[in-house]
Amino acid sequence: MSLQGKTIVVTGACSGIGAETARLMRLQGARVIGVDRNDPMLTLDGFVKVDLSEQAAIDDAVRQLPERIDALANVAGVPGTAPADAVARVNYLGLRHLTEKLVPRMSAGASVVNVSSILGYFYRDRLDLHKALAETPGFEAGLAWLARHPVPQATCYEYFKEALIVWSTQRAFPLFQKHGVRMNCVAPGPVFTPILGEFVKQLGEARVQADASRMLRPGFADEMAPVIAWLCSDDARWIVGANVPVDGGFAATYL
């Protein structure tokens, strides 16, 4: 795998999976531009500080990003302990808006990789709702739709990861057909990151204990990063619309 000479934007680049992805991509020869609401604590080739929950802030960030981009890794996200509105904005609406704004800067062969989650596994249970949200034409329209179809706080993280998988899958082939841009998802299971404790609070002790038998251990951020980087590389040039579990077999236990 080589990313030599590619310009790649990584959101959430200052910690966790995003930071490990940025490090690995630079080692593979990429020019990495980080996007985050926090200041960077690692070497990057460029950095834009932005609140991905606000459309105007995203539009301003887009103006600061390179005119040519070879890949976008959407890693930034907030846990389900954040207000449901923030989860909707960052984990879905903001990600979607940033992606659509950057696609015109991508040439054939470029890649978008969205970090979903194993918690999005049951998206088929709410497929019609997720398809309806995916059809909303933009950030504000998405907010208006959600105002009419409120998402409970208790399940907001799962809901918007499910929605992300559905939107990414639906959008993947049109992007590939029209622009030659590939879109895929990576679905981590539990991962040792700074917000792992927030997921324990979100799911509750009973759910955490029940899930413990489904895995050997939580993953490490540097076990997620190579899959994201590979999907951004030319080696993955014929993979479109996939949602790749990187979970130590967690998803397989549901069959």
Q: Which residues are catalytic?
A: 157
What is the spatial distance between Cα 49 and Cα 72, in angstroms, rounded to a whole number?
16
Neighbours of 156 (CB within 10 A): 25
Please report where in the chains the tokens 């890649």 appear, as a residue.
Answer: 111
Q: How far apart are CA 248 and CA 191, in angstroms?
A: 10
The owner of tokens 């934007």 is 9
Structure tokens that stand for 17 in this block: 């999976």
CA-to-CA dists, residue 153 to 20, 83, 198, angstroms: 30, 7, 14
Tokens 């990003």 found at? 65
Report d(CA 69, CA 132) in Å as an integer: 30
Rounded Cα–Cα distance for residues 64 and 244 (Å) = 31
Helix, strand or coil for residue 102?
helix
Burial (CB count <10 Å: 0-12, 13-18, 19+), residue 215: middle
What letter would DSSP give residue 188? E
Backbone torsion region of residue 29, taken as left when φ is above 0, otherwise alpha when ψ lies between -120 and 50, otherwise beta: left
